[in-house]
Structure 1
Amino acid sequence: MTDKQVRPPCYVLGIETQIGLSLVRELGEAGVPVVGIATGDKAIGLQSRYLAHGEILNKPRTDAGLAELRAIGERHGAGYLLTVSEANTTWLIENRDRLGVITPLLPSKDAFAIVLDKGRTLEAAEAVGIDVPKSASPATWADVERVAASFPFPAVLKWSDPNGVAPALHAAGIELVKAEYVYTADEFLRAAARYRPVEMWPLVQEYCPGVGLGQFFFMHEGKAVRRFQHLRVAEWPPEGGFSSVCDGVPLDQFKDLQEKSIRLLQAIGWEGVAMVEYRYDPASGRAVLMEVNGRFWGSFPLAMYSGAGFGLLAYSLQGQGVMPSLPALRENLRCRMVATEIKRLRRILLQPGLIRDRTFRVRPVHEVLRFVGDFLRPSVCYYVWNLKDVKPFIRDVRNAIGV
């Protein structure tokens, strides 16, 4: 038998997006037999040539879904499971011993609870010397009024645990707004009043100018065995969210900040892959922690193309206890999601009034020139499009037009 044939499969749950697709591509390129698990037959990952088998999970995050996973494991054999979303990670952590021959590769329950809670994450970060934004967590309306009287606005309102509050907000008919900008105490009070029916309020966080800086690590037995970092060039929504364009950053930059990030992950007790996200202001040099993502992140394709090997590390090191052979990092790539870029351009060119951050600098000509110019840059790669694996892109286009 060849080495490829004797390798246990890697199950990847969540292949509807570029994240799961990139995991399939990375592992498949390394010769790992990949069983992709989707929640619908239109998932882009089901079309990848790097997939050994595709499966549909009809009832995720239920007991019936656990039975489906066990049956999938019986069909394809004992192996390791990676997942993408926080909701699925939480579900699997609670049921890690109910998956039959499948071994999920997950963080500990305690560590994951910390990174899901922005307040606890910021406390841990401050304790290891990381700059954090001034924050307040009102628990009562009286707290809200005290914050309004004393907080240095402008501020951003964020839920400490969005997944945790979503059911209560939905039941009350209140929209879950992940990030809301308020510039004065009166604006804050008007926004906070929306949540009085549920008696829960978002975290109030100091507004920090700058761009997104992501530092990525694979932690094993308390040590960072692999690291990577990027800067966001463009985000959706334009004022800040997730990357639509990002650039790899050489590891000889932000070295002190990398070491602080590692100390934070060590303090949390983190094992496996994680993203430590900052808001970096080039004008002042200040980098302020935003959050820790204890999962594979939206711009993961850039890490894949750059040879970071985080998925392979999870399978080989976290799963089998064997350090894989990894290439030298490519640190000069740019990665982009064109569909999201088009949506972003539409907002900037045609709907600038919908940009919630009033300090966002609208530069239409610059944005158009950069968008067009990136098609001509040889170092640009794409979240979904890949010449070696074209069918996921075709499926993505068909999904977008409803075919």
Structure 2
Amino acid sequence: MPKFIGPAAMNLYTPADGLFGTHVTWADVEEDMQNGFDTDAYFGPNKYATNIGEGNGFMSRIVLIDPDWQHKDKELPEKFIVKIVSQLALQKVAAEMAEEKKIENRLNSSEFMATLEKTQKRLHNVEITVYEHLRKLPTGKIPLAKIYHAKKFTESNPVKGYIIMEYLDNIKAVHIFENVPLDSMKQMVQSLMEMLRNFGNEVLADKTDEIEKILPDLLDLEAAELLPDEIGMKRVLCHGDLWSMNILWRDNGKHLDLAALIDYQTAHMGCPASDLVRVFSSCLSAKDRRKHWEELVEDFYGYMEKEVGDAEMPYTLEQLKESYRQSFPLCAFMIVPAIGPLCDLLCRNPEDEKQKEYLSTATEKTECLLEDIIYYHERNMKLKRGEESENQKNQSDGLLNGS
């Protein structure tokens, strides 16, 4: 990981002298909050910042701020979150894993880091634009944390991109090595190869070999982009990165209630099935996903019908289901690489019973995802070659549903 020597370099991957090595300072945050709330109150001597993003994401610092407000002249948030765009978490994890596994760290080349920085900046600015639009919707339509201030990257502001937002207490982030109960997932629907081989599982290694053979087909991004047009679906606003770590749940003691959807960096006009595949694959157990995906898709469609009212629906239920089947290989494949690093980071003690449970859940989820990626890829290839009839393509889901 790059060392900080002398004046801070003007990039997102070299440690600087701001909050947790970023370029964003206490003064930046204080001034933005004062302007946003039109207050003369200021941060006190006991102000405190906590990095709460460790293990929950690699493209930003998630900082919990306790400002210790002084001379409050109105109601102000006692705590809030600052999400700061940075590569420091990614570089730290990449360096640790490379050292531990004795492999080359390919993520610390200057070319890679500079290219990634351009992408990060673009995605951050997109996220802010999407938030600006979503905030215009009626309250409660989409669960969002309140945004107090958002700063885009510009030519005159090359290294300080961040969002200051509401702190939601009693929140549970459900990791990919945990499962969201089916009832809670219905709330979600309504609102909306090296690593694997070293995972210590022979079955995963074998399936990874199979996946590697079909990679060119899986990574046909042009075909994925054109899918809604080919099926005859109108494009709609999609989250673009709807997986377990971008969904916040509130644990009420009996079940999980949806609290907020976050990270709209990759929002775009596209096929909604891509969001559904990602969220089902990352949040549900393999058994629930296989058995209930059609039911959840039907729920999603029903919710959308209510929202659309008398207007024309952008697609039919069958088009949505077929787009799910055709989107599955690529979108599920994009979830799989996240499982290894997260488990490696958070399951360092294999003798711990809770960590054993996490590892078991992650392994089962990964094995079944790889199985289903291969299954749906073969199914879609047959369909493309005209080897599978309309009746067969619908009946084939029964093999995975256990029916």
Per the normalisation by structure 2, the TM-score is: 0.29
Structure with more of its chain in helix, by fraction: 2
Per the normalisation by structure 1, the TM-score is: 0.29
